[in-house]
Amino acid sequence: MGSSTLTKGVERAPHRSLLKALGLTDREMDRPFIGIATAQSSVVPGHMHLQLVVDAVKKGISLAGGVPFEFGVIGVCDGLAMGHRGMSYSLPSREIVADSVETMALAHDFDALVLVPNCDKIVPGMLMGLCRVDLPAIVVSGGPMLKGWHNDEAIDLTTMFEAVGKVTSGKMNEDELYQLEESACPTCGSCSGMFTANSMNCLTEALGIALPGNGTVPAVASKRLRLATDTGYRAVELAKEGVRPSQILTQEAFLNALAVDMALGCSTNTALHLPAIAYEAGTKITFEDLDRMSRKIPQICYLRPAGQYHMEDLEAAGGISSVMQSLADGNLIKTDLLTVSGTVKDRLKKPLSSEVIRPINNPYKKEGGLAALWGSIAPKGCVVKQGAVAPEMMSHKGLARVFDSEEEAVEAIFGGKINPGDVVVIRYEGPKGGPGMREMLSPTSAVFGMDLDKSVALITDGRFSGATRGAAIGHVSPEAAEGGPIAYIREGDEIIIDIPNRKIDLNISKEELAKRMEEQVKRPERRLKGYLRRYAQKVSSADKGAIFED
């Protein structure tokens, strides 16, 4: 197997002639062939510079005696797709990315792979494809964007979405909005807080499938290019050593990643992506695993959108290696696990800041950044970024304000129709119902921008951007389109949210709920065609990671 399938023997003379058409020499036919999957494009700010990263990877491969082969995958920019039909394609694109990596890797029998993603769904999609092929492989991302500045205050993409609500409510004028617009996203790279892209890139380090620094070295730093060169070099070594992802991406590695997830206060989207990657790796991560780890692991970092720090601050403090050192100090992770460069223990280093990365005995929060809730609204669970919830909203009772789409909810919020104490319910936005499980950054940012974040909760069978903060509870399972209880909530019902005790309930009797669930409900019509139609037919519920089950 491997490149010898293409290069050895009389019967492969036609294959060699095609390789020579690419410019390969006879000398290169005997070297490891390394595939480079890249999501470079001129559409996504996080990917616009990836050709520089790929070129550095190629240099590293050549230095190590390998032959690089570059191929592309698609990539959706969640920020650009937010708030309109484009977001229906974001999560579904993960499966296309995974299929592309699988197809290209096996069709051309590479000896190893280097994955070069950066934003949201592309990282897990590449890892899912990698798990299917189980070739020696390593990840290097494009790195995070630098934070912006406005009036001596650090700003980012979250600032922009929340500013829309401030303009709508009269708390900001359009001239200041324009000044923010000019400054919030100052460089290429994945948006600068602990949003989904950076969460997933950090977790590639925690999983052991990337070199130290992958999650935090800024996109514009020359160190990123050196990291990419080292990654390419290491890919050739992995091919020669025969180290495969199945030896690295074990159940214990995923639990380490969950621990780092909780310590960092990552995006709720990790609760979709880690289970999906684990499924492809032949293991399992559940909401129960997430919640058990949340109760065990304190949140020791406080990055945007919850806190004041950005990715460049985490890098300066020592990055993920230092976060893992703090966890190791408390015996909260396993350090004898294999990575693409030695063991976890080999990569640990002492934090350089006790504020950006706090010690275990002085955390920002006693529990992890995410929590799973269960109850009559979500019998199979749902997820909240509890590290970004105001203390007064950790327990909340309020009247349901029910909407069957994101657009209806945003119109009501901006129209001043949501009152303090309300619980906004947005349904039919799940994996099947959306379809595509759209992110709800627009409504959550509207709530924050209109100063309702400490009095209004939001519940959805959709999901949230990593830039979301507040009492935003997503991934409600089963979703409305599958007949879940969220479909039977009525306007004015009382909803009880109790994050500390992991409960989310509709305050009606079991008998009343059962009676409602026997009734026929009117569902919004979705006229689907093409890929979204096929996606809606095959995708699982959010509690399983919105995967395509066998």
303-321 pLDDT, tens digit per residue, is 999 999 999 999 999 999 9
Q: What is the pLDDT of residue 521?
A: 87
Q: What is the pLDDT of residue 97?
A: 98
**pLDDT band, very low/low/confident/very high, at 449 (cuts 50, 70, 90):** confident
410-426 pLDDT, tens digit per residue, is 999 999 999 999 999 99
Torsional sign, CA 524, 528, 534, 535: negative
Q: How far is CA 526 from the centre of its chain?
A: 26
Which residues on adjacent β-strands are paired with residue 67? 33
Average pLDDT (260-283) is 98
Q: 255 pLDDT exceeds 80? A: yes
Return d(Cα 473, Cα 464) in angstroms, integer: 8
Q: What is the pLDDT of residue 526?
A: 86
Q: What is the pLDDT of residue 272?
A: 97
**pLDDT band, very low/low/confident/very high, at 522 (cuts 50, 70, 90):** confident
Beta-strand ranges (E) seen in 140-272 are: 148-150, 153-155
Q: What are phi and psi of 149, to 5 degrees?
A: -135, 140
Q: Of the listed 88, 294, 465, 541, which one is catalytic?
A: 465
Average pLDDT (118-144) is 98
Q: What is the pLDDT of residue 122?
A: 98
Of 100, 461, 132, nearest in space to 279 by CA: 132
The two structure tokens encoding residue 362: 């002085």
Q: What is the pLDDT of residue 527?
A: 87
The two structure tokens encoding residue 405: 């789409």
| Cβ contacts of 30 within 8 Å, gap of 6 or more | 7
- DSSP 8-state class, residue 524: P
31-71 pLDDT, tens digit per residue, is 999 999 999 999 999 999 999 999 999 999 999 999 999 99
Average pLDDT (266-279) is 98
Mark whether 354 is an active-site residue: no
Q: 517 pLDDT exceeds 80? A: yes
Q: Is 15 exposed, middle or buried (0-12, 13-18, 19+ CB in 10 A)?
A: middle
Q: What is the pLDDT of residue 520?
A: 85
189-247 pLDDT, tens digit per residue, is 999 999 999 999 999 999 999 999 999 999 999 999 999 999 999 999 999 999 999 99
Can you spell out the DSSP letters for 104-146?
Answer: HHHHTT-SEEEEE--STTHHHHHHHHHHHH--SEEE----BPP
Average pLDDT (529-547) is 96
Q: 1 pLDDT exceeds 80? A: no
Return d(Cα 202, Cα 194) in angstroms, integer: 9
Q: Is 403 helix (H, G, I), strand (E, B) or coil?
A: strand
CA distances from 337 to 204, 299, 318, 344 (A): 14, 23, 21, 6
Q: What is the pLDDT of residue 332?
A: 98
Average pLDDT (487-506) is 98
Average pLDDT (154-173) is 94
Q: 550 pLDDT exceeds 80? A: no
Half-sphere exposure of 348 toward its Cβ, with a 13 Å CA cutoff? 17
Q: Tell me the percentage of the chain whose pLDDT exceeds 90.
A: 95
Q: What is the pLDDT of residue 473?
A: 98
Q: Model-level pTM?
A: 0.97
Average pLDDT (350-362) is 97
Average pLDDT (113-138) is 98
Q: What is the pLDDT of residue 467?
A: 87
